[in-house]
Structure 1
């Protein structure tokens, strides 16, 4: 590391510059939310708004002197050379795509925080021994193409490129076709030909723990298991007044039984710390006086324990068969996403904790309830995460999502300290 510079121990990012970057990116895809009266963000993956957001951030990356490249899945890597540029890079990053009703912090803090680290090193003329790369991963949310962490999972090799490209949105448009349309297919192969030396990601917590405990930093020990299912329930349409109950094949009744069973599985405690959500529910023909013939619904399962998750999936599938017999319907289901639990190495947790303590921040160990790109890149190299608190009970995927300028800067300063140490090895 270049020692003819300011002491790195006292180095801090420009909190105002970081906040201004978050605010400016937050205007790309912005909308006025009727429910909250707040300004939200809608940048579904590989839409015009998502691509406009990419162009804005990539422009900033070029201004910071970074060399930008794309891989075959449209993931962005912006490289700051090291003193020994042959060494594997320290990578920081996240995503900038969003759900349809997002705030401006989810994912964006990790990307723009990485950019702010580079800007800070540039400001102070610091050259690290290892190169540093800032990554933007494609379709992390899964809100459009139905599989979360699609870009990073493809970069890490868990999802084959052909399978990723074949993923479709609700209109039948494929991920690959959109990559081609926007000219986002790069020359770097997937999986990554060279694994990073280490990967770090700073993220808003998306939960209430840090705020409730008045902790400034979360040291993330891992990510829980996630399974997404899509169910199609087929019954038979019938007149609501003329069809006796015993002769009905009510797809909506079957859906209701599944939803109640999910709640029983969660509240019973029989499957550990399990969570279940039905986020999408579509009924056909969706008319007041017709017994529904079709229901499409999605199930999101979360669990800290992989064996408990497997048991829950098996029991739920068996319950589908019971409902078929009871109601006289057919239930078909498919798994659209499945990620195992990930525990980050103790060395990465210890590094984040040490950096937080050195900066005087109250911190605690926390397991992420949400999926993150770090969970995928952990298959390639040591990975870790820094959480910052969100206000309003940590609400996220909502225009009310909010973290303060101070909290964001605190998290990125911890990230900066950790990156400097790793990049000096």
Structure 2
């Protein structure tokens, strides 16, 4: 089993990796991500799993045993731009390795077990996070999603068919293993933790409009510069989030006309905001938007704020989480919250009892080439996932 995990991991390591940064570019429906999906289908075939797909890009390999509500595990294979190796693929590789370990133990589940790969979990190409699981659960309709475009203007409907294969019909429980994207487990000295829930979070598009002008001949006092309004807003977001003990980030900006010697006419910026409560999220976004609008009024610019996606707070089934955390050699696994969104959250909101296992990340860094997990901790995660699946599939 250790050889299988490490072999699979080494197979994935070069795919979509930047020789310049060491980070990964595995955006949905591009060559790198399609190579990974083909690898997943090949791995399923080698294990005798029945492969089922839908037109959204989601894939499940089924171990057709037993009867009754199916047990599903897995994660995603796409990445953020210049992302880390572990966010998503660790859950997929660990799921396959966990099935191998279960079979080596002689375990025969009493109900079907599937390993899933959900498409566009990061939202790095079409802008809507967890898009594959949203479509599979009906949280987002194909009519809403098909017109989503990437940065080059390519529509989702141009790269995938949108035919629903009903992959989640009959699924009774979902368990997702994921690398931890913070330092909680490092601070606790634990290799594995169980998820209690996901913070509410959203993506907001802020469009600042001003007046294009010459960078040399236009006096500073005569400018209507949307870049200044945006810069103030970014600082205000940082201050408001710090004061509230929450999160607000501007990580993507587009400038028009994007010339070195021109005052811009428009700045479009995307803000990611996350809070412990939905009320806190609404208050934080309102405070930042209010300060931005006030500044825009003074600068002579205009501002439009659009919520592109907002995900509610998710509380995983507490009884399920407690059961998974308890009675393990060496003590209970800690139960921790996460500020990151996951497909497990989408399935939980859709009414499918869901749980998450997290594997320690010694750097505490994620969405970055510095993201990491030690092999020894990954193997603990595989064993923990196999234990969990055996328990739930009895």
TM range (shorter): over 0.9
Deviation track 1:117-156 (CA, whole Å, cap 9, x = no partner) reads 2222333443211110111000000111101111111212
350, 355, 358: which is aligned to 1:387?
Answer: 358
Deviation track 1:74-108 (CA, whole Å, cap 9, x = no partner) reads 21111111222xx1101101100111212221111
**Equivalent residue, structure 2, for 1:70:** 53
**Equivalent residue, structure 1, for 2:237:** 262
Q: 1:359 to 1:263 in 2, by over 3 A?
A: same
For the residues of structure 2 that align with 1:371 and 1:292, how far apart are their CA atoms? 34
**Equivalent residue, structure 2, for 1:48:** 31
Q: Does 1:316 align with 2:288?
A: yes
Deviation track 1:151-210 (CA, whole Å, cap 9, x = no partner) reads 111212211122122211011111221114xxxx555137x443x211111111011221
**Equivalent residue, structure 2, for 1:18:** 5
For the residues of structure 1 that align with 2:371 and 2:242, how far apart are their CA atoms? 27
348, 359, 364: which is aligned to 1:378?
Answer: 348
Deviation track 1:215-246 (CA, whole Å, cap 9, x = no partner) reads 12122111111110112211002233433333
**Equivalent residue, structure 1, for 2:64:** 81
Q: Are 1:22 and 1:105, in contact at CA under 8 Å, matched by a contact in 2? A: no
SS at match of 1:133: strand
Deviation track 1:303-361 (CA, whole Å, cap 9, x = no partner) reads 1111111122233333333122111112123222210110111112112212xx42326
How far 1:366 sits from its partner (Å)? Answer: 1.4
How far 1:251 sits from its partner (Å)? Answer: 0.7
**Equivalent residue, structure 1, for 2:393:** 423
SS at match of 2:345: helix
**Equivalent residue, structure 2, for 1:113:** 94
Deviation track 1:263-312 (CA, whole Å, cap 9, x = no partner) reads 1211222xxx3101100123233344432221121100011111111122
For the residues of structure 1 that align with 2:18 and 2:259, how far apart are their CA atoms? 31
**How do 1:346-425 residues align onto structure 2 when only pairs under 5 Å count?**
346-354=318-326, 357-360=327-330, 363-379=333-349, 380-392=351-363, 394-424=364-394
276, 286, 289: which is aligned to 1:304?
Answer: 276
**How do 1:209-248 residues align onto structure 2 when only pairs under 5 Å count?**
209-248=184-223
Q: Does 1:57 align with 2:40?
A: yes
Q: Are 2:317 and 2:355, in contact at CA under 8 Å, matched by a contact in 1? A: yes
92, 96, 103: which is aligned to 1:122?
Answer: 103
For the residues of structure 2 that align with 1:61 and 1:193, how far apart are their CA atoms? 20
For the residues of structure 2 that align with 1:365 and 1:33, how far apart are their CA atoms? 38
Q: Does 1:161 align with 2:142?
A: yes
**Equivalent residue, structure 2, for 1:206:** 181
Q: Are 1:15 and 1:405, in contact at CA under 8 Å, matched by a contact in 2? A: no
**Equivalent residue, structure 1, for 2:315:** 343
For the residues of structure 2 that align with 1:417 and 1:124, how far apart are their CA atoms? 11
Q: Are 2:204 and 2:305, in contact at CA under 8 Å, matched by a contact in 1? A: yes
Query: TM-score if structure 2 supplies the norm length?
Result: 0.95
Structure 2 gaps of 5+ residues are none
Report the count of equivalent residues. Answer: 393
For the residues of structure 2 that align with 1:362 and 1:287, how far apart are their CA atoms? 57
Q: Does 1:27 align with 2:14?
A: yes
147, 154, 166: which is aligned to 1:189?
Answer: 166
Say what the alpha-carbon RMSD is for the aligned residues.
1.8
More deviation, 345-354/135-144: 345-354
Q: 1:361 to 1:20 in 2, by over 3 A?
A: farther
